[in-house]
């Protein structure tokens, strides 16, 4: 797929169904629709395909024409090129799920200088953003994943951590929190090596897992912060029949992971609903376009009341889901 290809998903969602709806009728907008293009980490990744459903549903609700673009490879430099393209097209809002907040900082500044709002997700440290929307607490999210991994490892043994890239802000924040929690609470556990990149793509995480098992044969746990990491790792664990020896835990999409979870190759997973994330980004964009004040207690449509760091322009709600043998079936039925 061309790196600049806009991913336009078909079949927009009815707002009331997956998101619980918004009270009252949809507002009637007299003005022409605003435009919002969201730059994600990579094109064609299931996580962002689902996120785009939320972008489209909210766009219909809030009179914003939405599109989604992403590089063909996990490359922050390509994100910069896409942002610059959108600046040239004079969109009203740019959404961004950054791979490296330092690399994208100047492009974000150029967008803001051009009068474009920038709404990030997994980018609370992105300089220049208008607002960042988080559906989890990075600290709590990392810690709950480590608690699950420790439980599955019997609180002892070697483990490894996968992130999308070594600069992906959200993944590394979660990893930092998880590792710190392990060091404070599980002294018989230890990292076999520094964290590994590759958790955004199945092929990459498959290759990394094969290398990890060869280089560190005593590893008893794999913790992945990227949603494709557990899939690649779980496939290797299943192929080698290591389900009872190596515990895989991490961020994942239920439909992708269901067979691996039910077979024991993945022990437990976590996520927030990507549809909610996409919907929330557009809802926040609408509020920013309208000059609506956003502060702690403000109701974010579909997501509920938020905790807001006004100084750092971060909006946070708590929407974590736990995926295991008991919950995965129902989550898949819900479309996740």
Residues in CB range of 230: below 8 A, 6 or more apart: 205, 222, 224, 248, 249, 250, 251, 252, 257, 260, 266, 269
The span from the CA of 310 to the CA of 188, in Å, is 40
Question: What distance lies between CA 204 and its chain's CA centroid?
Answer: 18
Partners of 189 in the β-ladder = 157
Walk along the chain (336 residues) and give the pLDDT tens digit of each residue: 333 333 333 333 333 333 333 333 344 445 789 999 999 999 988 899 999 999 999 999 999 999 999 999 899 999 999 999 999 999 999 999 999 999 999 999 999 999 999 999 999 999 999 999 999 999 999 999 999 999 999 999 999 999 999 999 999 999 999 999 999 999 999 999 999 999 999 999 999 999 999 999 999 999 999 999 999 999 999 999 999 999 999 999 999 999 999 999 999 999 999 999 999 999 999 999 999 999 999 999 999 999 999 999 999 998 899 999 999 999 999 888
Instruction: Write out the E strands in the chain.
Output: 34-39, 64-69, 93-96, 117-121, 131-134, 157-163, 189-191, 196-197, 219-224, 247-251, 268-271, 299-300, 304-305, 307-309, 314-316, 321-323
Cα distances (angstroms) measured from residue 157 to each of 191, 237, 324: 9, 17, 22
Return the CA Rg of the chain.
20
**Contact by Cβ (8 Å): 254, 227:** no
Tell me what pLDDT residue 31 has.
Answer: 76
Tell me what pLDDT residue 15 has.
Answer: 34
Tell me what pLDDT residue 215 has.
Answer: 98
Tell me what pLDDT residue 12 has.
Answer: 35
CB burial string 274-285: b at 16+ within 10 A, e below: bbbbbbbbbbbb
Pick the CATH number of 16-136+273-318 from 3.30.1310.10, 3.40.50.1240, 3.40.430.10, 3.40.50.2300: 3.40.50.2300
Pick the CATH number of 138-271 from 3.40.47.10, 3.40.50.720, 3.40.50.1110, 3.40.50.2300: 3.40.50.2300
Tell me what pLDDT residue 134 has.
Answer: 96
Residue with tokens 């557009």: 282
Global pTM reads 0.78
Domains 16-136+273-318 and 138-271 share a fold: yes
Query: Would you kindly state where each structural domain of the chain is located, as residue ranges?
Result: 16-136+273-318, 138-271
**Contact by Cβ (8 Å): 222, 145:** no
């Amino acid at each position: 797929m061309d790196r600049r290809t806009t991913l336009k998903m078909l079949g927009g969602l009815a707002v009331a169904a997956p998101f619980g709806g918004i009270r009252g009728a949809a507002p009637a907008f007299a003005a022409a629709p605003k435009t919002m293009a969201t730059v994600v980490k990579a094109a064609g990744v299931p996580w962002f395909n689902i996120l785009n459903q939320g972008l489209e549903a909210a766009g219909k609700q809030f009179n914003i024409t939405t599109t989604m673009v992403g590089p063909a490879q996990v490359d922050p430099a390509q994100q910069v090129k896409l942002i610059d393209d959108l600046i040239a097209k004079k969109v009203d809002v740019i959404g961004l799920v950054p791979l490296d907040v330092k690399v994208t900082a100047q492009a974000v500044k150029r967008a803001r200088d051009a009068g474009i709002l920038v709404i990030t997700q997994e980018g609370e440290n992105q300089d220049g953003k208008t607002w960042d929307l988080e559906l989890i607490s990075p600290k709590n999210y990392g810690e709950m994943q480590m608690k699950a991994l420790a439980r599955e490892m019997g609180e002892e043994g070697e483990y490894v951590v996968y992130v999308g890239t070594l600069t992906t802000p959200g993944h590394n924040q979660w990893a930092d929190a998880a590792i710190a929690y392990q060091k404070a609470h599980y002294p018989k556990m230890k990292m076999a090596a520094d964290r590994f990149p590759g958790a955004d793509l199945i092929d990459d995480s498959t290759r990394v897992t094969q290398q990890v098992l060869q280089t560190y044969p005593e590893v008893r746990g794999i913790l992945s912060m990227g949603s494709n990491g557990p899939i690649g790792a779980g496939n290797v664990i299943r192929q080698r029949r290591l389900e009872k020896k190596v515990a895989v835990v991490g961020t994942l999409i239920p439909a992708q992971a269901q067979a691996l979870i039910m077979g024991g190759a993945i022990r437990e997973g976590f996520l927030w609903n990507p549809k909610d994330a996409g919907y929330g980004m557009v809802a926040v964009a609408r509020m920013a376009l309208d000059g609506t004040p956003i502060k702690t207690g403000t109701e974010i449509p579909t997501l509920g009341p938020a905790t807001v760091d006004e100084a750092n322009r971060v909006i946070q709600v708590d929407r974590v889901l736990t995926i295991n043998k008991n919950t995965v079936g129902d989550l898949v039925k819900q479309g996740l």
